[in-house]
Chain A
């Protein structure tokens, strides 16, 4: 392993700026300053696990600002060791992105267009023109929280969650975009749907998206169809450009 220089939140020697919190008898929650640091430390943990130099661990769960390790024999020993690690910054992922064909006809497309201050066509272009990455998973097997949208395009959840979001729905909430692997209640703003199978326990791997996977959305239709249940947004001025 070589250090390619300090990441955003490392000291000059590439040592991570992190806080460790004990979680029960066998867990350790590692807090990091930025999602980029989470990505770097998670990659380093995976490298060490593959090399057999990481203590045995039952679960390793990266999230927005943390990596959670559970099933450790001695969490405090690992916590002490972590402070001296050299963690290289995340490298550009050279894996080809998983491409997901999307029908951009979600019921909240017009709502998102209004929030973003642009037309539905522009939402589609922007969303499908972004390379996303799975920051972490949760909520349901195969549900990945995908990052990549700039902060000014983060949208709130719907005030009233839907009781049933159809399988394959592509949604936005906060900093994330995601795809519902199965039908469930949900409060994300739905802009489209995909026929891709996000989760199939008979498949290896069962989850199409795992932490770190790069993802691109590809418009499945030549033109953007009218949203299925387009809410009227004539009361909002969509002309304000995105910051």
Chain B
């Protein structure tokens, strides 16, 4: 085994290898996958001199700890958390030189949910359809990290980019999800659509990389039954029979038979990736209804 590797000391609640995903294969049933907080993934890579396409580690709430077999520059972004090298505090959101054999730890997030750990050279796992991302729905890409696992590292690309200040708005106390109505908003009554716009929802603990599930008032349907299966976009607000919207994240199924009441544009999904269970959620319509209002039933 080459020295260019890291070993997993503490895998954390769920740590996966992520990159920009494998778009373009939805017609074969392959999800987009990739980092849920794209801006944080890109920033971590930039801080260590990697291109945006390099693979990082995406942690969930409790962080992770890795031992580097070779000296390398590392950066942690995304959900703010304590960062240590062999137990000594190190900066979050900045390039950190880590000596060979030292343990870099990203601790439990102080707020937000998902941290991104980039190593100069990137995680050099075997690509599948051009991506190293772990896809939890279909099982493509590397397995989620386990204690003791060893991951190969690529060669550093070049000197880290200088960054004087790391822009980071931080997860808000409330998650506001702007959405464009449709394509199946006519499957809901006017009252159901008012519920979506005015209801008090929370992020459900059942959320994962496939979807952000919500708890709250059920949306009233104008028609029963299921659609014939149709293509599902990233950011879809799909409403299963229980009436509670599920926001489709990067590992979502590529087709589905429940109506999509609206679509959250991709630029707002990073905020959703950082919303911990229990976070209040508000849906904000940012366009006209796609069709005339359905009749109230």
Q: Do A and B bind each other?
A: yes
Most-contacted residue by chain A among B29, B264, B291 (CB, 10 A): B29
Complex: how many Å from CA A61 to CA B229? 11
Cβ–Cβ < 8 Å partners of B254 in chain A: 59, 61, 137-138
**Could you tell me the distance in whole angstroms from the C-beta of B223 to the nearest C-beta in chain A?**
15
Contact (A24, B265) CB under 8 Å given A138-B229, A182-B139: yes
- A137's partner among B23, B29, B128, B139 (CB-CB below 8 A) is B29
Proximity bits, B115-126, A CB within 8 Å = 1, else 0: 000000000000
Main SS class of interface, A: strand
Q: Is the CB of A27 within 8 A of B263?
A: yes
Q: Does A8 contact B (CB under 8 A)?
A: no
Q: Is the CB of A138 within 8 A of B253?
A: yes
Proximity bits, A191-215, B CB within 8 Å = 1, else 0: 0000000000100001100110000
Contact (A140, B138) CB under 8 Å given A61-B231, A70-B233, A145-B229: yes
- A59's partner among B27, B182, B229, B235 (CB-CB below 8 A) is B27
Cβ–Cβ < 8 Å partners of A182 in chain B: 139
Contact (A27, B233) CB under 8 Å given A138-B254, A141-B138: yes
**CB-nearest residue of chain B relative to A175?**
B228
Cβ–Cβ < 8 Å partners of B229 in chain A: 63-64, 136, 138, 145
From residue 33 to 61 of chain A, which have CB atoms closer than 8 A to chain B?
58-61
Q: Does A112 contact B (CB under 8 A)?
A: no
Q: Does B140 contact A (CB under 8 A)?
A: yes
Proximity bits, B27-43, A CB within 8 Å = 1, else 0: 11110000000000000
From residue 185 to 241 of chain A, which have CB atoms closer than 8 A to chain B?
201, 206-207, 210-211
**Could you tell me the distance in whole angstroms from the C-beta of A223 to the nearest C-beta in chain B?**
34
Cβ–Cβ < 8 Å partners of A29 in chain B: 183, 230-231
Complex: how many Å from CA A64 to CA B256? 11
Cβ–Cβ < 8 Å partners of B128 in chain A: 201
Complex: how many Å from CA A20 to CA B44? 40
Chain B interface residue count, CB cutoff 8 Å, equals: 35
**CB-nearest residue of chain B relative to A71?**
B23
From residue 122 to 137 of chain A, which have CB atoms closer than 8 A to chain B?
136-137
**CB-nearest residue of chain A relative to B186?**
A21
Q: Is the CB of B228 within 8 A of A210?
A: no
Q: Does B255 contact A (CB under 8 A)?
A: yes
Complex: how many Å from CA A24 to CA B263? 5
Q: Is the CB of A66 within 8 A of B230?
A: yes
Q: Is the CB of A141 within 8 A of B231?
A: no
Q: Is the CB of A206 within 8 A of B139?
A: no
Contact (A62, B253) CB under 8 Å given A23-B263, A29-B230, A68-B231: no
Proximity bits, A118-158, B CB within 8 Å = 1, else 0: 00000000000000000011111111010000000000000
Q: Does A65 contact B (CB under 8 A)?
A: yes
**Could you tell me the distance in whole angstroms from the C-beta of A133 to the nearest C-beta in chain B?**
14
Q: Does B110 contact A (CB under 8 A)?
A: no
Complex: how many Å from CA A184 to CA B234? 23
Cβ–Cβ < 8 Å partners of B230 in chain A: 29, 61, 63-66, 68
**Could you tell me the distance in whole angstroms from the C-beta of A243 to the nearest C-beta in chain B?**
23
Proximity bits, B1-39, A CB within 8 Å = 1, else 0: 000000000000000000000011111111000000000
- B180's partner among A25, A58, A138, A207 (CB-CB below 8 A) is A25
Contact (A24, B140) CB under 8 Å given A138-B253, A206-B28: no
Q: Does B276 contact A (CB under 8 A)?
A: no
Complex: how many Å from CA A206 to CA B265? 30
Q: Does A5 contact B (CB under 8 A)?
A: no
Complex: how many Å from CA A24 to CA B183? 8
- B183's partner among A22, A59, A207, A211 (CB-CB below 8 A) is A22
Residues of A within 8 A of B (CB): 21-25, 27, 29, 58-68, 70-71, 136-143, 145, 182, 201, 206-207, 210-211
Residues of B within 8 A of A (CB): 23-30, 128-129, 138-140, 180, 182-183, 228-235, 253-256, 260, 263-266, 290-291
Q: Other than A21-B183, A24-B180, A66-B231, give 9 A-B pairs with Cβ distance below 8 A.
A: A25-B263, A29-B183, A59-B23, A62-B27, A70-B231, A136-B229, A137-B27, A139-B253, A143-B29
Instruction: Give 25 CB contacts A-B under 8 Å.
Output: A21-B182, A21-B183, A22-B183, A23-B233, A24-B233, A24-B264, A29-B231, A59-B27, A61-B230, A62-B231, A64-B228, A70-B234, A136-B27, A137-B27, A138-B229, A138-B254, A138-B255, A139-B29, A140-B29, A141-B25, A141-B30, A142-B28, A201-B140, A207-B29, A210-B28
